[in-house]
Amino acid sequence: MNTKELLLSVLMAGPATGYDIKKVLEQEVSKIVDVTISNIYPALNELAAEGLVTYERVEQENRPAKKVYAITDAGRSVCLNTLMTVNARHRLRSEFMFLLSFAPYLPRRRIKTLLDERLADLDEVYASLDDIEAAGPAGQGPATPGQAFCVGMGRAMIEAERNYILNNRDWLLRQAPEELPFAELVPG
């Protein structure tokens, strides 16, 4: 999905300021899909020009006015059409796995650090899933059935990865050299 389509999907949950949309994209959506945050305001302006969103300027005391964006019926139709037709690819992209593919060349302590950091990351994300399910991804109430399904799937994926790491870490650590002499790291 492109940025404009992602913006429409966020607005399906209800009206939001650009700042609120940015938070949802950064804190929730970016965990699931690649998101380009830098161009959300130009994209919101394009959506407004296309009649897919509207906005209301809300005056604030001692602060600049803010825009509250809402999806139009036409925007909802475009968003739903996109959701019905977009290719639902599931890609695995992981710097962690890329680094571990070089385990035979890295010292054991580095592999151990990578595994420990990944387990800590998984535990942190797992703990946050309860909050996401209770408050919904946009913090606007309980998760919808689809969101709850995704949270449950996320839990299952985290548990599987965590179990795999714990069950296979010793084997991987045995494959890595204890230490690498400095000379081996410098091309001759």
pLDDT score at 37 = 76
3-state SS, residue 178: coil
Q: What's the predicted TM-score (pTM) here?
A: 0.67
Q: What angle (nearest 5°) sits at the alpha carbon of residue 24, between those of residues 163 and 56?
A: 170
Question: How many domains does the chain fold into?
Answer: 2
- DSSP letter at 139 equals S
- The answer to whether 65 and 59 are in contact (CB under 8 A) is yes
pLDDT score at 25 = 84
pLDDT score at 188 = 46
Structural domain contains residue 135 = yes
pLDDT score at 27 = 77
Question: Looking at 27, 62, 85, which one is the last position of a domain?
Answer: 85
Are 113 and 74 found together in one domain?
A: no
**C-alpha distance across the termini of the chain, in Å:** 47
- The answer to whether 40 and 15 are in contact (CB under 8 A) is no
Question: Looking at 85, 119, 138, which one is the last position of a domain?
Answer: 85
Ranges in the chain, pLDDT < 70: 30-32, 136-141, 181-188
135 vs 112: CA distance, rounded Å: 35
Q: Is the dihedral of CA 90, 24, 142, 154 positive or negative?
A: positive
pLDDT score at 91 = 75
The range of the structural domain enclosing residue 138 comes to 95-185
Are 138 and 176 found together in one domain?
A: yes
pLDDT score at 143 = 74
Instruction: Report CA-CA distances (Å) from 176 to 46, 167, 173, 186.
Output: 52, 17, 5, 19
